[in-house]
Copies of this chain bind each other. A is one copy, B any other.
Amino acid sequence: MTRKAPTLEDVAREAGVSRATVSRVVNGIRNVDPAIREAVREAIARTGYAPNRAARSLVTRRAETIALVVSGAGDDSESEQNAFAARALADPFFGRVVSGVVGFLRPRSMYPVLMFAETEAARQQVLAYLRQGSADGALVFSTHAEDPLPALLAAESLPCVLFARPALPAPLTYVDVDHRQGGRLAAEHLLARGCRRAATVTGPLDLPAAQDRLSGFQDAMARHGHPYVPIAEGGFTFDSGASAMTRLLAEHPGIDGVFAANDLMAQGVCQVLRESGKRVPEDVAVVGFDDSSAAVACRPPLTTVRQPMEEMAATMARLLQEQIEGELTEPTSVIFEPELVRRASA
């Protein structure tokens, strides 16, 4: 068996000092004689000491762990549970999020705990996890407008930061992108390249993000003399994008430009266009949203409105950290500017 791991006590004995002193050098506290510090360092190396996280957490009352929760709006239909996780991770959007979170956490030797909160039971588990101090706070990514988790978190004042403004208002800190501006960028680009009959495939319209991308797009179109824009609602998935495009094409065969509210749907749009014998971008220009890996994987590669996801996710982690440390007591929000990335599709 693995013999008992060395403790502070062992190191102290080895170095001929007290536990307190060893603790000080481990935690990088200044007031330690350089010579002693060196001796302790050596003793640590010699014994192969590693501080025990549970013991430390018990006294500091910090888990030094944060939860990354992907949450939905389901009730208790168990069947959904696992499919939900798979679906959430299938969205290429997610890779950049995790990358941003990990980028912030790793230098602090912290790692995110992955949780899914699709059902009521799962939500309660998330709350329990936080309450018992298994994690100090949560970064939450809602996939549905009706998601009850933010409110629950707020009610118990558990530290958390949301990705995107919640549809159900709650006094919570969040990070978001200026979706209206993103819609505007898409509209102006389509207009600039000469589109005269642009349409849009929106996200689920109960989500503020989807609404705002739409209204930003519409406003910009209107401002340039296009009062009416054909719309088809999608669900942020490839298939929903494809079927929205099919509907659009049936009613408005003359469409020469499409703004899809995310890259996955834009991929579906391109797919349908190709199958209908239309060339992208020659016959129909397509602009996506997100700049996820789907944008590059798409044929043709998508011109898209980029959200600075890594930065946004890192900011979420930072705000959560500040909240946990007590430096941030009032809810706040940070809004990022989107940016148009030109590739081949428009």
Contacts and interface: CB of A to CB of B under 8 A. Distances in A.
A238 interface: yes
A65 B5 contact: no
Given A89-B94, A128-B50, A113 B116 contact: no
A93 to B, nearest CB: 10
Interface in A51-102: 51-55, 57-58, 63, 65, 67-68, 81-83, 85-90, 92, 94-96, 98-100, 102
Interface in A131-177: 131-134, 157
A95 B99 contact: no
Q: Is the interface of A mostly helix, strand, loop or mixed?
A: helix
A111 interface: yes
A86 B113 contact: no
A86 to B, nearest CB: 4
A99 B115 contact: no
Interface in A238-276: 238, 267, 271, 275
A182 interface: no
Contacts of A83: 99
A111 to B, nearest CB: 5
Of A57, A128, A134, chain B has the most CB atoms within 10 Å of the CB of A134
8 nearest A-B pairs in the assembled complex, by CB-CB distance: A89-B95, A54-B57, A86-B99, A54-B58, A50-B132, A50-B131, A90-B293, A86-B95
